[in-house]
Amino acid sequence: MLGRTLQEVSAALKQGQITPVELCQKCLSLIKKTKFLNAYITISEEVALKQAEESEKRYKKGHSLGALDGIPVAVKDNFSTSGIETTCASNMLKGYVPPYNATVVQRLLDQGAVLMGKTNLDEFAMGSGSTDGVFGPVKNPWSYSKQYREKRKQKPHGENEDSNWLITGGSSGGSAAAVSAFTCFAALGSDTGGSTRNPAAHCGIVGFKPSYGLVSRHGLIPLVNSMDVPGILTRCVDDAATVLGVLAGHDPKDSTTIQDPGKPFMLSSLTDVSKLCIGIPKEYLVPELSSEVRSFWSKAANLFESEGAKVIEVSLPHTSYSIVCYHVLCTSEVASNMARFDGLEYGHRCDIDVSTEAMYAATRREGFNDVVRGRILAGNFFLLKENYANYFIKAQKVRRLIANDFVNVFNSGVDVLLTPTTLSEAVPYLEFIKEDNRTRSAQDDIFTQAVNMAGLPAVKILLLLSQNPMPRNQNNSTLY
C-alpha cells in the first residue's frame, strides 16, 4: 500500500481498502523503521493520528474533503507549523514552536492531509547536501538498496559499510528521503537555488518548483525572499499536480502572490509531443558534467525527438554569471533575514547579560553554524554603503540579464528547456564533505539556480535509472 502513488492510495481510501488511521499507522511504523535515514527532525505522531481519525470520520460519513483527505504528508522543517516545533535544523530555533501555520501547511490540512512530521534539512536551508543541519546529515534511502550494496561490495575501498551511504542532496533532503522511502506520499520542500529539485534528483523522485508568486511563502522561514518558493516532492508527476492544485493561488498574507485566480492543474495524458519545441541550452554542457549524465541528457533529447518533438539548441548566454550573482544576492538577503534572530523575542538566547550587544553577539554565535554566519558576514559586506553599487546593484542587473535570457528563448518559440538537474549522481557522504558548503552549493546549483533568478517554474522528473543503479533525472522548465 505504501508503495502506491498519492492518486492510487487516495482511490484506495475512497474504496475503503484501507482506512486513514491504518494508513497513518503503517507510515508511522515505517518512519520508525527508517529512523536511521534521519529524514525527520520531529515526528508528529499524536497530531497525525488525530488528523487520521478525523479523516476517517469524514470517510465514514461519505464526505471526504478530496484527493488529499487522509493522505500522509511531510513538511520541511522551515515551514511554520502551529504547535509543532520548527527548527530550521538550527540551534537558533531549537524549541521554537510557532503559533501559526504556514499558508501551504494550512492548505494541506484544510484538505484533510495528515501531517507525519517535520523533515531534516541544511541549517536554514543553506546547503546542497542536507549534511549541514544541527540534527546531522540525511542518508539517501537508495544507499540501502540491494543493487547499490552489491555494487559497493565489488569495490575494494568499501571497507566501512556505514560510511558508504550516499547523501540525499539538499537542502530539502529530509523531504526527498521521506517520500523516496515511502514514509509519506508527498512532502513540502523549499527551493531557492534548487533545494527541491536537487534532492529529488538524488533520491529518484519528482521535485517541482512552482513559478515565483504562484504559491504563498507566508510561514516559510526565508532564505532569499526574492527567490524562495515552496516546492513539492512526490513519486510521480500527477501527484505533484494534485498537490500544486491545493497549494497554488493568491494569499492575502503574501503580497508577492499573483492575484490571478488561475486554472486547475489538470495534466492531460500527454502522448503527442509533436507540437512541442524543446530547447537544449548549450551553456549547460559544462566540463564538470559527468559523462553518464551527459549521455542520459542526450538520450532524453533523442527520445523526445523520436516521438516527433522539435529539439533545438538554444543559448542562455549569461548562465556562467549566475552562480556569482546568486552568491551576492543570496548572502545579502540572508544577512537581512537573519537579523531578526537576536534572542529577544524567540529562539535561542545565551546566558551572557553584560550588555544587549554582548547578548546579541553570543546568541548569534551559539545559534548559527559556520555556513550561516559566513553568509551573514558576506551579505553585510555586499550591503555596505561603499560596496552596494559594486556588488548588489550589479548582481541585480546580471539577474535581469539572466531572466531576459529565458524570456528571449521562450519568445523564440521554445516551449520547454531540457537540462540535467545535477552534475552527477548522488555521491557518498565521505566524498561530499571533502569540499566545504560554499563550494558544494556553487557546484550543485549550477543547473537549477538560474531558474530561481528568473522566477520560472521547473520540474525535475525521473527519466531513467542509471546503471549505478541510482536514479537519473532531468530538469524541465517551462513558462506558464
Partner 1 sequence: MAAPMLRGCCLGRCWALACIDSGSRHGRGAATGFTSSGKRGQSFVAQQPLLTAQKSRKGEHKWAAVVGLEIHAQIASNSKLFSGSQVHFAAPPNSLVSFFDASLPGTLPVLNRRCVEAAVMTGLALNCHINKKSLFDRKHYFYADLPAGYQITQQRLPIAVNGSLAYSVCVGKKWRQVITKTVRIKQIQLEQDSGKSLHDELRSQTLIDLNRAGVGLLEVVLEPDMSCGEEAATAVRELQLILQALGTSQANMAEGQLRVDANISVHHPGEPLGVRTEVKNLNSARFLARAIDYEIQRQINELENGCEILNETRSFDYKLGCTVPMRDKEGKQDYRFMPEPNLPPLLLYDTASLPAGADPQQVINIDRIREQLPELPSETREKLIQQYGILPEHSFALLNEVGLLEFFQNVIKETRAEPKKVTSWVLNIFLGFLKQRNLAVNESPVTPSVLAELLNLLDRKVISSAAAKQVFEELWRSKGKTPSQIVSERKLELMQDEEALERVCHAVMEGHPQVVMDMKRGNPRAINKLIGLVRKVTHNRADPTVIKEILEKQLSS
Residues binding partner 1 (CB under 8 A): 79-80, 86, 88, 93, 96, 98-100, 102, 217-222, 224-226, 252-256, 259, 332-333, 335-336, 338-342, 344-346, 356-357, 360, 380, 383-385, 388, 392
Catalytic residue among 76, 118, 209, 460: 76
CB of 181 to partner 1, least distance (A): 27
Q: Are the C-beta atoms of residues 324 and 455 closer than 8 Å to each other?
A: no
Q: Which is closer to partner 1, CB of 64 or CB of 337?
A: 337
Rounded Cα distance, 244 and 241, in Å: 5
Helix, strand, or coil (residue 446):
coil
Provide the total of helices (H) and of strands (E) in the chain, helices listed first: 17, 11
Query: By three-state DSSP, how is residue 164 classified?
Result: helix
- 218 vs 440, which CB is nearer to partner 1? 218
Nearer to partner 1, 34 or 369 (CB): 369
Q: How far is the CB of 344 from partner 1 (least distance, A)?
A: 6
Q: Quick check: is 216 catalytic?
A: no
Say how many Å lie between the first and final Cα of the chain, rounded.
Answer: 34
Residue 32 or residue 340: which is nearer to partner 1 going by CB? 340
CA separation, residue 105 to residues 75, 211, 370, 382, 440 (Å): 8, 18, 30, 34, 30
Q: Work out how close the CB of 20 gets to partner 1 at its nearest, in angstroms, rounded to a whole number.
A: 28
Distance of CA 442 to the CA centre of its chain: 16
Q: How far apart are CA 350 and CA 364, in angstroms?
A: 9
- On whether the CB atoms of residues 14 and 68 are closer than 8 A, the answer is no
CA 81 to each of CA 98, 104, 144, 229: distance values in angstroms, whole numbers, following the listed order: 6, 10, 31, 17
CA–CA distance from 412 to each of 272, 405, 409, 415 (Å)?
A: 21, 11, 5, 9
- Backbone angles phi and psi of 190, in degrees to 5: -130, 155
Question: Residue 299 catalytic?
Answer: no
- Who's near 390: CB < 8 A, 6+ residues apart? none
29 is catalytic: no
- Minimum Å distance from CB 227 to partner 1? 9
Identity of the residue, 149 or 397, whose beta carbon is nearer to partner 1 in the bound complex: 397
CB 247, CB 232: distance < 8 Å: yes
Which CB atom, from 259 or from 271, has the smaller least distance to partner 1?
Answer: 259
| Integer Cα distance of 324 and 168 in angstroms | 24
Closest CA to 235 of 344, 72, 112: 72
Which of 421, 471, 478 minimizes the C-alpha distance to 141?
471
Provide the angle, in degrees to the nearest 10, between the axes of the packed helices 322-337 and 370-383: 100
Pick the catalytic residue from 10, 44, 80, 171. Answer: 171
Nearest approach, Cβ of residue 336 and partner 1 (Å) = 6
Cell triple for 190: 523549499
Catalytic residues: 76, 171, 195
